[in-house]
Amino acid sequence: MTSPNEARPVGAVVDPLPAGTKPDGRPLFGRYVILQHVEASRHGRDLYRSFAESDPNGDLWTYMGYGPFDDLEKFLAWLSGRESSNDPLFYAFLRKSDGRAVGMGAFMRHDPPNGVIEIGHIWLSPDLQRTREATECIYLMMRHAFEDLGVRRLEWKCDALNAPSRRAAKRFGFTFEGIFRQHYVVKGRNRDTAWFSMIDKEWRRAREAFDQWLDAKNFDGAGKESSKLRIASNPEKRHGRT
Give the mean pLDDT of the chain.
92
pLDDT in the model for residue 238:
45
Q: Is the pLDDT of residue 72 over 90?
A: yes
pLDDT in tens, 90-132: 999 999 999 999 999 999 999 999 999 999 999 999 999 999 9
pLDDT in tens, 183-227: 999 999 999 999 999 999 999 999 999 999 999 999 998 888 999
Partners of 33 in beta bridges: 95
pLDDT in the model for residue 233:
62
The set of long-range contacts for 73-80, using a CB threshold of 8 Å and a minimum separation of 24, is 75/44, 75/47, 75/48, 76/40, 76/44, 76/48, 79/38, 79/40, 79/43, 79/44, 79/47, 80/40
**Topology, domain 28-217:** Aminopeptidase (3.40.630)
Q: Where are the domains of the chain?
A: 28-217
Predicted model pTM: 0.92
Which SS3 state, helix, strand or coil, does residue 141 take? helix
Q: Is the pLDDT of residue 236 over 80?
A: no
- Please state, in angstroms and rounded to a whole number, the distance separating the CA atoms of residues 57 and 240: 42
